[in-house]
Structures are given as structure tokens and as C-alpha cells.
């Protein structure tokens, strides 16, 4: 029940209005309630549980492309024009040059320039690496191991090249060597021989039981 105060030209009057209980108020099933700009909005329709999407097997052509790239990779021939080096003052222990000389090197490699020259299978892993900065969409690698700019710059490039090789190595399935194939084949052959031997022993036991019952 609600009390409504009405103020007109005369004295203030109060009248009551009976409201139905909340349980009897009809609310459409598609009604949406927005609780706050910072709180998630109730969905209009129930879409059910989230489906589990099975991982897609990589295309064999993409795997071959990545394998060829890895086998032909040469750090010395990799174009350094793709990256941009900058220097800043280092921090922490390290002697008199710390906080005085800009020896810390930072290498930035924009993804839009890098990925177009890399196999497709390497794109997502590189974006997921700890060196990838989403804000600038680039790989950012730093080094302040040395007191010299040139040494730290070279370390940045070494870490960058190592990252590329590690990513490529992880997405390319290992190639089974001839010795490994031979070992697996021998193990399978031995397992098959053991299985046949056990089967023969079991068959002989059954035949022995039958012959024993027949002689009684």
C-alpha cells in the first residue's frame, strides 16, 4: 500500500492506493535490467552453457611453411630495419653508470611489419608472449646487462631472435627419426608376439580341460 500526498490550492490531503504484491506483477521474460554501468547487464535470453571448442589441428601446409622457415632462419641475415632501438637510464645496482648514462636498450618491433614475413602458425604465439605489448601492438624487448649501449642493443636482438626460434620450434611437430621409427616398430612387434603367446597358452588350457572331461 502506498500513501500519496496531494498538494493543491487547498489543504494537504493524503490518500492511499493499494498495490498488488510483487509476486503478482507480470514481468516479460525478455525484460532486461541494468543495475549499473559497471555491473554486467542481465541477458535477455538464456543461451545455455558455453560450448567447449576443440582445438583445430594445424594445416599441414602451414606446418611445412613453418618448418622451412625455421630450417632457413639466419639471425645475421634478419633485417634489423624492422625494429627500433631506444636508450634510457638503467636502474638498480651496477656501479657509477647507473642512473647517469643512458645504457639501457629497448627494442620495439611492430607486429604489422614483422608478422607479414613470418609463417601463419607463429602469429598467435608471438601475440601471446610476454614480450608483446597490446597497447602498441609490438614486441618490446629490453636489456640493461651491460654498461655499454652497443652490448645491450645486441642482447635485445639476440633475445628477439631466440624468441622467434622458440616459437617456431614449439608450433612445428617433431620429426621422427629412422632410429625412433625402428625402435617403435620393434616394440610393437614384441608386444604382438607376447599377445599371441598368451593367447596360445590360454587356448591350450581350454583344450586340456576339454580332453580331461572327455577321458572321465
Parallel, antiparallel or unpaired: strands 132-133 and 13-17: unpaired
Kindly report the CATH number that applies to the domain delimited by 79-171.
3.30.160.20
38 pLDDT tier (thresholds 50, 70, 90) = very low
Please say if the pLDDT value at position 177 is more than 70: no
Torsions phi, psi for 39 (to 5 deg): -110, 140
Q: Compute CA distances 134 → 107, 126, 148, 154, 171, whole Å.
A: 15, 11, 29, 24, 22
pLDDT for 179:
57
Please say if the pLDDT value at position 164 is more than 60: yes
Q: Return mean pLDDT, the chain.
A: 74
pLDDT for 28:
52
pLDDT for 208:
81
Answer yes or no: pTM beyond 0.75: no
pLDDT for 41:
31
- Alpha helices, DSSP H, located in the chain: 60-72, 111-114, 123-127, 149-171, 178-215
Q: Which residue has the higher pLDDT, 193 or 148?
A: 148
The pLDDT tens digits of the residues spanning 63-106 come to 889 999 999 999 888 899 999 999 998 765 555 555 567 889 99
Q: How many CA atoms lie within 13 A of 174 on its CB side?
A: 5
Per-domain residue ranges for the chain? Answer: 79-171
Mean pLDDT across 108-137: 94
The proportion of the chain whose per-residue pLDDT surpasses 70, expressed as a percent, equals 61
Distance CA 137, CA 88 (A): 21
If 0-12 CB within 10 Å is exposed, 13-18 middle and 19+ buried, where does residue 97 land? middle
Cell numbers found for residue 36: 549499473
Mean pLDDT across 108-134: 94
Q: Is the separation of the CB atoms in 119 and 69 below 8 Å?
A: yes
Distance CA 8, CA 143 (A): 79
204 pLDDT tier (thresholds 50, 70, 90) = confident
- Please provide the DSSP assignment of 97-121 as one string: TTTTS--EEEEEEEHHHHGGGS-GG
pLDDT for 183:
64
Q: Which residue has the higher pLDDT, 197 or 107?
A: 107
50 pLDDT tier (thresholds 50, 70, 90) = very low
Please say if the pLDDT value at position 119 is more than 80: yes
The pLDDT tens digits of the residues spanning 178-188 come to 555 576 677 77
Amino acid at each position: 500500500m502506498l500513501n500519496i500526498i496531494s498538494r493543491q490550492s487547498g489543504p494537504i490531503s493524503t490518500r492511499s492506493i493499494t498495490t498488488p504484491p510483487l509476486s503478482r506483477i507480470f514481468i516479460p521474460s525478455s525484460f532486461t535490467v541494468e543495475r549499473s554501468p559497471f555491473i554486467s547487464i542481465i541477458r535477455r535470453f538464456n543461451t545455455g552453457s558455453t560450448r567447449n571448442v576443440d582445438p583445430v589441428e594445424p594445416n599441414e601446409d602451414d606446418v611445412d611453411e613453418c618448418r622451412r622457415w625455421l630450417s632457413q632462419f639466419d639471425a645475421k641475415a634478419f633485417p634489423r630495419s624492422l625494429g627500433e632501438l631506444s636508450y634510457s637510464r638503467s636502474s638498480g645496482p651496477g656501479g657509477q653508470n647507473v642512473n647517469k648514462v643512458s645504457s639501457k636498450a629497448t627494442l620495439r618491433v611492430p607486429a604489422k611489419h614483422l608478422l607479414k614475413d613470418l609463417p601463419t602458425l607463429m602469429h598467435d604465439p608471438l601475440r601471446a608472449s610476454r614480450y608483446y605489448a597490446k597497447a602498441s601492438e609490438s614486441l618490446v624487448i629490453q636489456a640493461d646487462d651491460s654498461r655499454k649501449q652497443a652490448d645491450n642493443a645486441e642482447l635485445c636482438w639476440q633475445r628477439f631472435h631466440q624468441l622467434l626460434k622458440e616459437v617456431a620450434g614449439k608450433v612445428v611437430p617433431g620429426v621422427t627419426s629412422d632410429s625412433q621409427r625402428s625402435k617403435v616398430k620393434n616394440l610393437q612387434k614384441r608386444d604382438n608376439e607376447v599377445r599371441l603367446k598368451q593367447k596360445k597358452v590360454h587356448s591350450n588350457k581350454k583344450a586340456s580341460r576339454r580332453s580331461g572331461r572327455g577321458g572321465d
